[in-house]
Amino acid sequence: MSTRPHPPLECQQATPTCPRAAQRGTLRAAVGEPKGAARKGVPSVLRPGPRAGDGRYPVAWLHIVAPRGAVPTATSKCLCGRDRSAVGRAKVLALIDDHAAHRDTCPLRSSQEGRAAA
């Protein structure tokens, strides 16, 4: 059994035997502005101003990770400097309750009287 020779490919060209410098591309004249440019500085699309917030921002975070069949973990952080973590189901549940209690006593919460009225 002999192997058949591969037919030559049409797209292959013979390589030059001596090095040759690359050819330079033609330069176009850069005159005028691009066609879509704004000529007088007027924006082409009017955008609304930035949305005004309602004054609320996050102060405390509770991050719970409880994958199926694994030990749950939780982290409670607050901008006032409180940073606690728990590992295990019972300790995570206790940290959740502690985080909720801290929400009522945190010195950074400015609307203490509003929560009592609500």
- What is the spatial distance between Cα 62 and Cα 78, in angstroms, rounded to a whole number? 9
What residue type is assigned to position 81 of the chain? Answer: G
| Coil, strand or helix at 6 | coil
- What is the spatial distance between Cα 74 and Cα 83, in angstroms, rounded to a whole number? 11
Give residue 38's pLDDT: 53
Model pTM score: 0.48
**Using one digit for the tens of pLDDT, what is the confidence trace for 39-73?**
566 555 666 666 666 777 778 899 999 999 999 99
pLDDT tier, 85 (very low <50, low <70, confident <90, very high otherwise): very high
Tell me the mean pLDDT in the region 73-79: 93
Give residue 105's pLDDT: 87
- What is the spatial distance between Cα 86 and Cα 77, in angstroms, rounded to a whole number? 12
**Using one digit for the tens of pLDDT, what is the confidence trace for 90-103?**
999 999 999 999 98
